[in-house]
Amino acid sequence: MSGPLRLIGIDPGLRHMGWGVIEHQGSRLTHVANGCVNSDNKADLASRLVELHDGLADVMRQFRPDEAAVEKTFVNKDATATLKLGHARGIALLVPALSGIGVFEYAPNLVKKTVVGSGHADKAQIQTMIGILLPKCSPKTADAADALAVAITHAHHRGSDDLQTRLQRAMG
């Protein structure tokens, strides 16, 4: 591909699903857009998942990314909250896959380490680094900033993921 590669990062959430679109060419990263798809927390789970699906599908149609990156779910002490997050994460994986693009996953600690330099960075540190790495970008929410961090992580690690995928296919 001769032009820039358009990447979407997705930070799954049932209430607020952050998304961020960047372009990557060589070592250059350019901010395209970011935002959140929100669901009505008073609606039933199925309706909320439809809202997330439809909103993210609109983002995919509008920005037409070449690849998607989704933050992996961490398991916390509240099993119900983890399960609900898992539903939202399913939407985050499904929508780009239905668009016919590659979907990659990254652990939260790897995202933080890639963007901030520490796997235990807080949201404020991530937002600060987003402003440095994407100078003309000021995400309105932490969820959008996290999604941009996922996209940046994919930009930095995608070559090794391509190699890993080729090796897995060759082995199995």
- Catalytic residue numbers read 11, 71, 143
Task: Mention every residue, 6+ apart, whose C-beta is less than 8 A from residue 10.
Answer: 17, 18, 19, 56, 68, 69, 70, 71, 92, 96, 147, 150
Residue 151 structure tokens: 């996209």
Is residue 149 within 8 A of residue 9, CB to CB? The reply is yes
Q: How far apart are alpha carbons 48 and 55 in whole angstroms?
A: 11
Q: How many CB atoms lie within 10 A of CB 99?
A: 16
Q: How many CB atoms lie within 10 A of CB 131?
A: 14
Q: How far apart are alpha carbons 161 and 138 in whole angstroms?
A: 28
Task: Mention every residue, 6+ apart, whose C-beta is less than 8 A from residue 136.
Answer: 31
